[in-house]
């Protein structure tokens, strides 16, 4: 907007700014500062004041930091599996299937993810549990004699996490691959490149922004997931969000819970930041 246009729009500017500032300051900045504050306060009524005991507890109690490390590690594994599965699917939709069909496939791809995560996890539960549909068929076909409990183990939990976050990998990958000019692949082919070589030198480098944003989002979602580990994983609260929940809701130790929350936030921020740094991208670019 030009200089004289600006003069007139001062009012408009403030009208736009006010709700946005209200949103970001009151609902994003303030709560997280409060969380930081809480995490540094003592929970006991006898000795109120500043303290680091909440963080100390995290490092001293192996169950806490082991869960933390386990959560981070499994989130990384989930991200890697999602990427490996997502790349060919995205490539198929963007470049292999007939253009008319790719739109329909995209809609099919999106559909399950708009259904509540709870419904999806529930679907897996009735498929996999001891009295579940898969056990029913395996028994019928005589492959097994006694039903197997397929729920409540780490592999199933990871599968559930992959399933839950798949979309957030495939969608950015499809959009970035659609922007790849076919003639680049044709040129490489024409110049004698093999399939592997085309993937390595053309497709993967071109898809980097999509891969980055997909990985960041999937990692984030897995790290912060509560439902899937809780319902599909083991019963003993070994996902870090469950620890946070326990502190808040079961033990009612908000200070300890805040410290855990802040640690999780720090971990996810550091990983996102590192991912962006490694690929030399900006959050703004990845988001759009």
Q: Which of residues 94-153 bind other proteins (CB under 8 A)?
A: 95-99, 105, 107-112, 114-127, 131-133, 136-137
For the segment 267-286, give every residue that binds other proteins (CB under 8 A).
268-269, 272, 283-284
Stretch that binds other proteins, among 48-56, 61-69, 149-157, 246-254 (CB under 8 A): 246-254
| Cβ atoms of residues 125 and 231 within 8 Å | yes
| Cβ atoms of residues 202 and 184 within 8 Å | yes
For the segment 6-45, give every residue that binds other proteins (CB under 8 A).
7-9, 11-13, 15-17, 19-21, 23-24, 27-32, 34-35, 38
Instruction: Give the span between the Cα atoms of 177 and 272, in whole angstroms.
Output: 22
- What is the smallest separation between the CB atom of 92 and other proteins, expressed in angstroms? 5
Residues across the chain: 288
Q: How far is CA 108 from the centre of its chain?
A: 21
Q: Which of 57, 76, 81, 231 binds other proteins (CB under 8 A)?
A: 231
How many residues sit in the footprint of other proteins (CB under 8 A)? 99
- What is the smallest separation between the CB atom of 287 and other proteins, expressed in angstroms? 5
For the segment 174-203, give every residue that binds other proteins (CB under 8 A).
182, 185-186, 189, 195, 198
Stretch that binds other proteins, among 49-57, 58-66, 148-156, 262-270 (CB under 8 A): 262-270
Query: 174 is written with which tokens?
Result: 């499809």
Concatenating the DSSP letter of every residue in 54-99 gives: HHHHHHH-HHHHHHHHHHHHHHHHHHHHHHHHHHHHHHIIIIIS-H
For the stretch 188-212, what's the b/e string if a residue is b when 16 or more beta carbons lie within 10 angstroms of its beta carbon?
A: beeeebeeeebbeebbeebbebbbb
User: Is 211 an interacting residue with respect to other proteins (CB under 8 A)?
Assistant: no
**Cβ-proximal residues to 38 (8 Å cutoff; 6+ apart), any chain:** 254, 255, 258
User: Is 48 an interacting residue with respect to other proteins (CB under 8 A)?
Assistant: no
For the segment 59-98, give every residue that binds other proteins (CB under 8 A).
85, 88-89, 92, 95-98
């Amino acid at each position: 907007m030009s200089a004289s246009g600006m003069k007139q729009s001062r009012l408009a500017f403030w009208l736009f700014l006010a709700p946005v500032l209200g949103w970001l300051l009151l609902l994003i900045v303030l709560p997280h500062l409060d969380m930081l504050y809480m995490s540094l306060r003592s929970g006991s009524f006898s000795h109120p004041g500043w303290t680091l005991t909440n963080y100390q507890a995290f490092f001293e109690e192996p169950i806490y930091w082991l869960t933390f490390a386990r959560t981070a590690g499994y989130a990384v594994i989930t991200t890697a599996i999602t990427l490996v599965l997502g790349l060919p699917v995205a490539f198929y939709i963007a470049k292999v299937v007939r253009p008319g069909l790719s739109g329909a496939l995209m809609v099919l791809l999106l559909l399950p993810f708009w259904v509540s995560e709870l419904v999806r996890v529930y679907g897996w539960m009735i498929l996999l549990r001891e009295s579940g549909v898969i056990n029913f068929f395996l028994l019928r076909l005589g492959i097994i004699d006694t039903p197997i409990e397929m729920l409540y183990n780490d592999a199933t939990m990871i599968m559930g996490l992959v399933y839950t976050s798949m979309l957030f990998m495939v969608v950015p990958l499809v959009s970035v691959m659609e922007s790849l000019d076919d003639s680049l692949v044709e040129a490489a082919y024409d110049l004698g490149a093999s399939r592997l070589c085309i993937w390595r030198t053309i497709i993967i480098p071109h898809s980097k922004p999509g891969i980055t944003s997909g990985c960041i989002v999937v990692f984030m979602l897995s790290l912060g997931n509560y439902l899937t580990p809780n319902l599909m994983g083991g019963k003993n609260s070994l996902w870090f969000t469950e620890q946070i929940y326990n502190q808040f809701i079961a033990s009612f130790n908000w200070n300890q819970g805040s410290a855990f929350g802040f640690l999780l936030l720090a971990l996810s921020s550091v990983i996102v930041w590192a991912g962006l740094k490694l690929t030399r991208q900006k959050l703004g670019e990845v988001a759009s």
